Amino acid sequence: MKSISLNKQYLASFVKEEEIKIHFDKANAINKDLNNLEGTYKGYTGWQILPNEITKEFVEDINKTVNELRKKVEYLLVIGIGGSYLGAKAVISALSNQFAENKVLFAGINLSEQYLIELQDFLKNKKFGICVISKSGTTTEPAVAFRIFNELLNNQVGEKEANTRIIAVTDKSKGALRQLATQKGYKTYVIPDDIGGRFSVLTPVGLVPIAFAGFDIMQLVEGAKANMLTSADNSTYEENIALQYAIIRNILLQKGYLIEILANYNPKMHYIAEWWKQLYGESEGKGGKGIFTASVDFTTDLHSLGQYIQDGPRILFETVLNVQSQPNKIFLGEMEGDLDGLNYLKGKSVEYINQKAFEGTIMAHVEGKVPNIVINIPEISEFTIGQLIYFFEKACGISAMMLDVHPFNQPGVEAYKSNMFKLLGKPTK
């Protein structure tokens, strides 16, 4: 199968190949520590070997669970926040028909009452199940949502039947959700202790919703396995594109490029960028360090943020997701009188036009002194998305550790929680 690849040709005037290779030994030492689950952060790096630990039997169990649930329900409400929903949302959005009705819905992702009311109204006469995702079961946003929709489900079908329509993805032995799941007899899956939320898309956190949506989770895992091989201990510099990407990011940061924009020319990749923003922003933004992560959807945003990218301060660089092959094509015909001036494009596909927009934009941005990295994605499939997930996860761990920050915690997230709990009058233990 085809593999994702890294195109560095648009970096030539910003980062020399020799500069990247200078940092190779340091980055590769970090890579080896990660691969062998060694070093300071070994208790957080289970995601490293996870694809090899996912068995055919485990995947079959997930598929059996969701197939049985589909016999009872039409919709699955996934309740979780941050890494407990973004990975699943990203993969499902990338693989789905953009205009098909969503059968996987999400709650616990905010504290908007209007969002919850409208979701209640939508589900009140629908057959639905719940996949609640939380290690602790006490994170405010998903805990609030679960109370609301568990009650709605109980009112619709009765508690006994409702309990058969709930899947809990949680800690293996402790926490409020584990305790509740044991009491109520929910079907459960485990979030491994050594895998944090934003690295958890290939655990049941992501696999259960993705499987319910009808996609081949085994192929997703196989894609991740394929990318694992490119960053193994014995991989070469040329093979290890995750390591190269991590090094390039750090070099650009040292040169004053403080912002990385992930750009795409296919709207199916929008939520991949949302997942990526959390992965890198929450992993690196600590102690006054880190690259600020943002994203744009081109060509749409060429008519808005494109102006800033082209002519604004030279403090940002772009990483572009370039999907190389589309399954279907629309070809332009000829208009009598050529009133819109597009007859010169007769016989050209829309994707051909989009590709030229990509090429023209990257030329303009590079000429405008904006460094560009291109990640080529042969096609959008479970296999290639699995590759992309593992590529970004591995590069994230290496990149953060090159900055000497802890990639796997999020102390800054606790600040808002502490203040919110005080304002709400939460009892102290």
Q: Residue 381, exposed/middle/buried by CB under 10 A (0-12, 13-18, 19+)?
A: buried
365 catalytically annotated: no
57, 101, 238, 303: the catalytic one is 303
Among the listed residues 86, 4, 91, 1, the one whose alpha carbon sits nearest the alpha carbon of residue 323: 4
Q: 270 an active-site residue?
A: no
Paired sense of beta strands 128-133 and 166-170, if any: parallel
Beta bridge partners of 331: 349
CA 366 to CA 13: how far, in whole Å? 9
406: exposed, middle or buried (C-beta count within 10 Å: 0-12, 13-18, 19+)? middle
Q: How far is CA 27 from CA 223, 241, 398, in A?
A: 23, 12, 7
- CB-based contact 280:329 (threshold 8 Å): no
Residue 8 half-sphere exposure, CB side, CA atoms within 13 Å? 18
Residues listed for the chain: 429
Question: In the sheet that 166-170 helps form, which strands lie side by side, from edge to edge?
Answer: 104-107, 75-79, 128-133, 166-170, 187-190
Question: 232-261 burial, b if ≥16 CB within 10 A, otherwise e?
Answer: eeebeeeebbbbbbbbbbbbbbeeebebbb
Alpha helices in 158-292 (DSSP H): 159-164, 176-184, 204-212, 217-230, 241-254, 270-284
Distance separating alpha carbons of residues 131 and 210, to the nearest angstrom: 11
List the catalytic residue out of 282, 284, 351, 382. 282
Could you confirm whether 417 is annotated as catalytic? yes
Q: Which of 325, 345, 349, 266 is nearest to 300 (CA)?
A: 266
Helix H or strand E encompassing 190: strand 187-190
Catalytic residue among 174, 417, 422, 426: 417
Q: Which residues are known to be catalytic?
A: 282, 303, 417
